Amino acid sequence: MTSFLLIISFLFSLFLTFLFWKLGERYEIYDVASNDPLKIHKKSVSCLGGLAMILTVSITFFLKMVFEKNFDWQIFGIIIGGILIFLLGFLDDSKWKSRNRIKPRQKFVALIIFSFLAAIILLKSGLKIQLFPSFIIEIILTFLYIFVLINAVNYQDGMDGLAGGVVAISLIGFIVLGAISGNSLTLIISLILLGAVLGFLIFNFPPAKIFMGDSGAYFLGFILAVMAMIFSKPFNFPSIFSPIFIIGLPLFDGVFTNIRRLCQKKSIFLGDRKHLYDRLYLKNFSVRKTILICYFIQVIFVVIGLLIFNL
């Protein structure tokens, strides 16, 4: 049944991504090419890939619950929290792309509010970071996992095929982790999301026909946060390291980016061309070579994470 979920999810994603690619072109729902130095694409590209992925995941989970006649509150909480985070990104995609319309401080407040609400939803459904015997700390840590990872994946969405590819590699790591630990929830979530990401990547691999947008990046980051929470054992601090390494490149590059920007007294929401993939690209690596190098680095992180779990 589990492998069947991967196939169903992939086929839904393939169809929906193609559909939203065409709808984006027809109704000009674009990430508009401009003179913005942060954008390397030369033409306007549909940014509805995130919508295709979240619809794929939601539909597949719904069909699973209907087929098995089993309502799962944890899965329901994950979907509702994911939709909430997705809507924040969708608002960003549709209205906030112009820096004249939204100030970094306003975006920061919105991210805090939506991440906190998603954390409450996860806590109510039974998912949390329980490293210390304090409900307040549980809320704060759950919020931080969500807040950090949605931004971390979004940082990687600056090159065709990069964010989706590194997340797919992380999901393969979580599938292995779920299989060897016997954690069926992780296995199911990872397989369904992997199918959704792979269907999207077929149209996103360079040269991309469609982008995931901030909405898709936020949603993927949220699900990675959920994966990390599931494998963080109660009152066991070392248990956080395995999922951290399996998340890998988005997290480490994101943390380094924020530290660098804060040290330079810059807003963490004003982008630059100093991410790892940017540095590779500016050294005259092609887009495909750059993302393959990043994929290789991500595989190393995932292997380290799996080794940590086994040890």
Task: Please give the model's pTM, rounded to 2 decimal places.
Answer: 0.93
List the domain boundaries for the chain.
Answer: 73-193+212-310
Helix, strand, coil percentages (3-state) for the chain, rounded to 5, are 75, 0, 25
In this structure, what token pair is assigned to residue 136? 């307040």
Mean pLDDT by groups of 10 residues along the chain of 311 residues: 87 97 81 61 80 97 89 92 95 62 76 96 88 85 95 92 97 94 92 97 93 95 95 79 95 89 77 81 88 97 94 81
Residue 78 CA to residue 122 CA, distance in Å, equals 6
Q: What is the pLDDT of residue 285?
A: 87
Q: What is the pLDDT of residue 35?
A: 59
CA atoms within 13 A on the CB side of 240: 14
Q: Is the peptide bond before 234 cis (omega within 30 degrees of 0)?
A: no
In this structure, what token pair is assigned to residue 243? 């999922």
pLDDT per position as a tens digit, 242-281 = 999 999 999 999 888 888 888 887 777 667 777 888 889 8
Sign, CA dihedral 238-243-246-247, equals negative
Hey, which bits of 175-240 come out as E strands? none
Cβ pair 129, 229 in contact under 8 A: yes
Residue 261 CA to residue 239 CA, distance in Å, equals 29
Q: What is the pLDDT of residue 311?
A: 81
Q: Determine phi and psi for 46, rounding to 5 degrees.
A: -55, 140
Q: Hey, how many other C-beta atoms are within 10 angstroms of the C-beta on 294?
A: 26
DSSP 8-class letter at 42:
S
Q: What is the pLDDT of residue 121?
A: 96
Cβ pair 141, 131 in contact under 8 A: yes
Judged on CB neighbours under 10 Å (0-12, 13-18, 19+), 19 is middle
In this structure, what token pair is assigned to residue 109? 């407040």
